[in-house]
């Protein structure tokens, strides 16, 4: 008996993107299925963030088709995109917290700005508290982002990404600029966010070790810790971009076996 593969959550078909005639993404084709983890690596300016922005409808492809949750969203209107975005949590590369809002208001933002059934004030407060507790920052509700350390701001960003319990989570360089200990804490939260809510996860990173954590660990709810995952069970794949093209897309084993010198540069060995 064969089990049906989970349905695709993201599908790019021959996607190209140009700015002023200059092609910055070319022939991008990949698929992420429900529950999969995709780790995107590549040199600076290779197009990693652009792939996330296309997946959020913040940019439109010049050519090709994009499907999200099985729907062709390529020609969606802004209002249709708003409905799609309500199903996606995102941590932007620059953090994207609003400096003029408190931590509580920042985390509440996606809940208050989704068009779906409005939540009561009490329910919003409960969910915000729950998300901040999740990242162990439940005591910072009244603070402003400028009063937090870089690592704490990143954690608030994660709380905001997960507050709607989205089916799809996108993280752009979540550990950039952090010390190794804080980076590991952030990665543990990302694994936990994936495994507690069974979210499909796409992460851009400069550190291959971050991808390995997603591949090799799972969150154990009983102990509240990360434990080694059975090989292959996290369904992690790596993508490597070079100058707007995918030069590698495959499993961790295929990544380890890849001899391409550019791809090897992104290995932790
Ligand atoms: N709005 C824009 N207008 C014109 N060019 C853009 C725009 N956004 C991105 N680019 C260009 O597209 C290329 C890819 O950008 P992208 O932000 O995806 O890089 P990246 O891989 O995320 O890099 P980094 O690791 O530095 O974050 C870059 O050359 C960038 O200058
Ligand atoms: Mg980027």
Answer yes or no: is the C-beta of 44 below 6 A from any ligand 1 atom. yes
Nearest protein CA to atom 17 of ligand 1, as residue: 49
Say what the pLDDT of residue 177 is.
86
In the predicted structure, residue 1 carries a pLDDT above the cut 60: no
Q: DSSP secondary-structure letter at 75?
A: T
Nearest protein CA to atom 13 of ligand 1, as residue: 45
Nearest protein CA to atom 19 of ligand 1, as residue: 45
Q: Average pLDDT, stretch 29-49? A: 97
For 60, 101, 114, 206, 264, the CA distances from 41, given in Å and listed in that order, are 22, 32, 31, 6, 11
In the predicted structure, residue 43 carries a pLDDT above the cut 60: yes
Residue 124 to residue 141: CA distance in whole angstroms: 13
Spatial strand order of the sheet with 200-204 comes to 88-91, 168-172, 200-204, 37-42, 236-242, 245-250
Residue 193 to residue 127: CA distance in whole angstroms: 14
Q: Are 234 and 36 in contact (CB under 8 A)?
A: no
Helix, strand, coil share (%) of the chain residues, nearest 5 = 35, 30, 40
Tell me the residues surrounding ligand 2 (ion) with CB < 5 Å. Answer: 49, 93
Q: Are 42 and 208 in contact (CB under 8 A)?
A: no
Answer yes or no: is the C-beta of 48 below 6 A from any ligand 1 atom. yes
In the predicted structure, residue 74 carries a pLDDT above the cut 60: yes
In the predicted structure, residue 57 carries a pLDDT above the cut 70: yes
In the predicted structure, residue 159 carries a pLDDT above the cut 90: yes
Each residue of 166-188: pLDDT tens digit?
A: 999 999 999 998 888 889 989 99
Q: Average pLDDT, stretch 247-264? A: 96
Tokens 């995109």, residue located: 81
Answer yes or no: is the C-beta of 19 below 6 A from any ligand 1 atom. yes
If you measure from the C-alpha of residue 266 to the centroid of ligand 1, how many angstroms do you get, rounded to a whole number? 19
From 42, 48, 241, give the residue whose CB has the most ligand 1 atoms within 8 Å, as the site to mutate: 48
Domains of the chain by residue range = 92-165
Each residue of 196-223: pLDDT tens digit?
A: 989 999 999 999 999 999 999 999 999 9
The percent of residues above 70 in pLDDT, for the chain, comes to 97
User: Angle 149-154-155 (CA atoms, 0-180°, nearest 5)?
Assistant: 95
Residue 203 to residue 38: CA distance in whole angstroms: 6
Each residue of 91-133: pLDDT tens digit?
A: 998 888 999 999 999 999 999 887 666 889 999 999 999 999 9
From 50, 91, 241, give the residue whose CB has the most ligand 1 atoms within 8 Å, as the site to mutate: 50
Answer yes or no: is the C-beta of 28 below 6 A from any ligand 1 atom. no
If you measure from the C-alpha of residue 224 to the centroid of ligand 2, how many angstroms do you get, rounded to a whole number? 31
If you measure from the C-alpha of residue 186 to the centroid of ligand 2, how many angstroms do you get, rounded to a whole number? 18
The percent of residues above 90 in pLDDT, for the chain, comes to 82
What would the DSSP string read from start to end of 127-189?
A: HHHHHHHHTT-TT-TT--GGGS-HHHHHHHHHHHHHTT--SEEEEESTTTT--HHHHHHHHHH
Question: In ligand 1, which atom is closest to the CA atom of 47?
Answer: 18
Each residue of 220-241: pLDDT tens digit?
A: 999 989 999 999 899 999 999 9
Q: Name the token pair of 51.
A: 């792939």
Question: In ligand 1, which atom is closest to the CA atom of 53?
Answer: 18
Q: Confidence band (pLDDT; 50, 70, 90) for 269?
A: low
If you measure from the C-alpha of residue 125 to the centroid of ligand 1, how many angstroms do you get, rounded to a whole number? 36
Each residue of 141-156: pLDDT tens digit?
A: 999 999 999 889 999 9
For 41, 48, 240, 258, the CA distances from 45, given in Å and listed in that order, are 11, 7, 12, 22
Q: Name the token pair of 6.
A: 């989970």
For 168, 202, 256, the CA distances from 33, given in Å and listed in that order, are 10, 11, 22
In the predicted structure, residue 2 carries a pLDDT above the cut 70: no
Nearest protein CA to atom 31 of ligand 1, as residue: 45
Q: Average pLDDT, stretch 79-90? A: 93
Mean pLDDT (the chain, rounded) = 93
- Cα 37 → chain centroid: 9
3-state secondary structure string across 211-256: HHHHHHEEEECCCCEEEECCCCCCCEEEEEEECCEEEEEECHHHHH
């Amino acid at each position: 008996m064969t089990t049906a593969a989970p349905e695709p959550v993201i599908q790019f078909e021959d996607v190209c993107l140009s700015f002023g005639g200059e092609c910055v993404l070319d022939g991008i084709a990949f698929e992420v299925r429900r529950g999969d983890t995709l780790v995107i690596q590549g040199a600076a300016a290779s197009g990693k963030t652009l792939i996330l922005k296309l997946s959020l409808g913040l940019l439109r492809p010049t050519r090709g088709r994009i499907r999200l949750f099985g729907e062709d969203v390529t020609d969606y209107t802004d209002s249709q995109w708003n409905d799609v975005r309500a199903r996606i949590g995102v941590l932007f590369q620059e953090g994207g917290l609003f400096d003029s809002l408190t931590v509580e208001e920042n985390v509440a933002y996606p809940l208050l700005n989704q068009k779906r059934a409005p939540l009561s004030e009490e329910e919003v407060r409960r969910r915000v508290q729950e998300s901040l507790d999740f990242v162990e920052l439940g005591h910072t509700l009244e603070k402003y982002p400028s009063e937090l350390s870089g690592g704490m701001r990143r954690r608030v960003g994660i709380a905001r990404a997960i507050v709607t319990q989205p089916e799809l989570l996108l993280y752009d360089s979540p550990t950039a600029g952090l010390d190794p200990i804080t980076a590991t804490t952030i990665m543990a939260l990302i694994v936990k966010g994936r495994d507690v809510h069974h979210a499909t996860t796409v992460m851009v990173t400069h550190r291959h070790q971050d991808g390995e954590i997603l591949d090799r660990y799972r969150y154990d709810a009983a102990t509240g810790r990360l434990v080694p995952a059975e090989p292959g069970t996290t369904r992690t794949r790596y993508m490597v971009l070079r100058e707007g093209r995918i030069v590698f897309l495959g499993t961790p084993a295929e990544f380890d076996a890849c001899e391409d010198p550019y791809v090897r540069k992104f290995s932790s060995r």
